[in-house]
Amino acid sequence: MMDADLLLTFNAGSSTVKIGLFEINEIQPRPIGKGLIDLRRRPFTFHLTEGPAVFDVPLDAEATEDLRDVIAETFAILAVNFNMDKVRAVGHRVVHGGDRFAGPVALDEVSIRDIDELTALAPLHQPQALRLIRAVKHLRPALTQTASFDTAFHATQSDLVRRFALPRALHDQGIKRYGFHGLSYAFIAVELRRLAPGAAVGKVVVAHLGSGASLCALEGGVSRDCSMGFSTLDGIPMATRCGTLDPGVLLHLLGPRGRTLQDLEDMLYYHSGLLGVSGISADTRDLLKDERVEAREAIDLFALRIAGEIGRMTATLDGLDGIVFTAGIGEHQPEIRTAICDRLRWLGLALNSEANATNAPIISTSSSCVTAFVIATDEEQIIANEALSVLASK
């Protein structure tokens, strides 16, 4: 059992919890293990990866509202191979920081209260992060906890980009574009500087394509625009979320159609997107294998909206030097990348089909006017880096 100081990270999704374990060293936290708990499936299973070894450990913990038993059992499982007394801090991904948090913070009663007050802006994700924070605090009350915010990376966007065409008083009250997936974009910005420093200083659109999906326009590694705005519903279609929608549709459904607010929220978050269009599946892998016209239409709409959003961001950046595909779909599905890039040939983008088929780091041709990259993202590394920076400042 190793005796180095450790960092633990929790990346709370709407229905899953990704866990990272890091060794603290002089350079940056080094990943030594990772895990996943899917809260949609009963009984819970802790999927643990340690180097080349993979374990699926059933959890006895019940699905309580506070998740205390789940966290306690998770710590106990990790203690089999790691000295959990050496954990110096726990870093959390928190989706929404509003205008209050422009960087990572140590979690205390005040910051936890402030995060809780932002729950209405991210009802799918914020409660889950708060449950984990409070569960760890209950289990290890003296342990330093930190929060890293998805919205913080986009604080560099101009007021013009963040503004809706609504009465100014609403903007001043916080009704504005915030942007999300910021931890992923922060990692890609750093990784692109390492892999392709020439491209990193230019104008790049990053496509974070997973079950939740968005795009971000980077200039010199700094966020200038993004597809998600006030909420995680906005932008391009996702697995079960609608993406950009004419607000007149909502008025029509709430008015003449008599839908309730709860019913509408459920439809927009859980029954729209790829699932809603296809009526078959929310998973692009299933849809790509399905020959029905509805499956093809869902994929085509997904690609069309992404390509259109890249075109819009090219206008924000006043040009485009590169595109980065990342996250589950972006990193592993050549067919989706092809469908998107085929609609961007007007930008001078030429895809190398062989490189694309193998998920190579660069999938454009040498003569392409726009360089297309495939780069794996790592939100946990950013959470760990930021947790260590907060710990050092304390």
CA distance 139 to 128: 17
How many C-beta neighbours within 10 Å does residue 114 have? 15
Asked if residues 233 and 227 have their Cβ atoms less than 8 Å apart, the reply is no
Q: How many CA atoms lie within 13 A of 203 on its CB side?
A: 15
Task: Give the tokens for residue 358.
Answer: 């193998």
- Three-class DSSP category at 34: strand
CA distance 282 to 52: 30
**Alpha carbon of 239 to those of 11, 133, 214, 216, 270: distances in Å?**
19, 27, 12, 18, 8
- Sign of the dihedral defined by the CA atoms of residues 290, 296, 300, 301, in that order: negative
Task: Give the tokens for residue 308.
Answer: 């259109």
The residue type found at 9 is T
Asked if residues 294 and 275 have their Cβ atoms less than 8 Å apart, the reply is no
- Three-class DSSP category at 62: coil
CA 39 to chain centre: 17
Listed in sequence order, the DSSP H helices in the chain are 68-78, 109-116, 126-139, 159-162, 168-172, 182-195, 197-200, 247-254, 261-270, 273-278, 284-289, 293-317, 327-332, 334-342, 353-357, 379-393
> Hey, which residues are catalytic here?
150
